[in-house]
Amino acid sequence: MRNHARALIPAAVVLLAALITGCGEGPTPEQAQIPTAPPKPHRNTTGKDTRPGASPSPNVSDGVRDAVNALRTATGTVPDSRAFDLEHETRGGDRLWEVKVVAHDRETKLDVSEDGSRVLARSDHGRPDDDIRKLDAAKIDAARAAEIAGQRENGRLTELEIDTLHDGTVVWEIHFARPDGARTELKIDARTGEIARER
């Protein structure tokens, strides 16, 4: 009987070793939950500002989008400034935007590239003209007014300025050129953003 027990011991040892080896091949909790690397953030290679709130409304034409970008580029260049006049012009064969802004009672005129991304020239003009006094009544800025008008009119934006109607309502007067050559004009209430007049 004692010899039989001794014969069983090596077999038990072999079986135990096999069980230990088999258990070791399974994944440990640490191995089963190996974290994956987070996805790399998308790199903006366009050179344009893509932060929330910085891009114009997607529901406007490229021409209106360029005008809005030009207005924001101009006001971003002159600290604490507000734009009150915009014109699409040709100089030396190049198309550009002329933007007038005011800050601390001083007017600055900026030439901005047609896509609205770069300031090409800048000149200070001392005290601004009378138009900037109308800005005090405006709750809607020039860029937002251009977006509102662009959502209603699909022509090319050519000019924007602040103005006053006969009843004293301060408006943004915005001009468009349609593909068929027709000219249109929208007046946006500078306080409410509503269409005040269209022709």
Q: Is residue 48 part of a domain?
A: no
Burial class (CB in 10 A: 0-12, 13-18, 19+), 68: buried
Pairwise CA distance, residues 119 & 173, whole Å: 24
- Tell me the per-residue pLDDT of 108-151, one tens digit each, with 9 for 90 and over: 999 999 999 999 999 998 777 777 789 999 999 999 999 999 99
Question: Nearest 5°: phi and psi at 194?
Answer: -85, 160
- Tell me the per-residue pLDDT of 38-83, one tens digit each, with 9 for 90 and over: 444 333 333 333 333 345 555 668 789 999 999 999 999 999 999 9
Q: Is residue 9 part of a domain?
A: no
The confidence score (pLDDT) of residue 61 equals 80
Burial class (CB in 10 A: 0-12, 13-18, 19+), 93: exposed
Q: Is residue 2 part of a domain?
A: no
Q: Is residue 181 part of a domain?
A: yes
> How many domains in the chain?
1
Return the exposure string of 164-176: e unless at least 16 CB atoms fall within 10 Å of the residue's CB, then b: eeeeebbbbbbbb
Q: Is residue 183 part of a domain?
A: yes
Task: Quote the mean pLDDT of the chain.
Answer: 79
The confidence score (pLDDT) of residue 138 equals 96
Domain residues for the domain of 138 are 62-198
Taking residues 26-35, report their average pLDDT.
Answer: 45
Q: Is residue 5 part of a domain?
A: no
Q: How many Cα atoms are found within 13 Å in the side-chain-facing hemisphere of 31?
A: 5
The whole-model pTM stands at 0.70
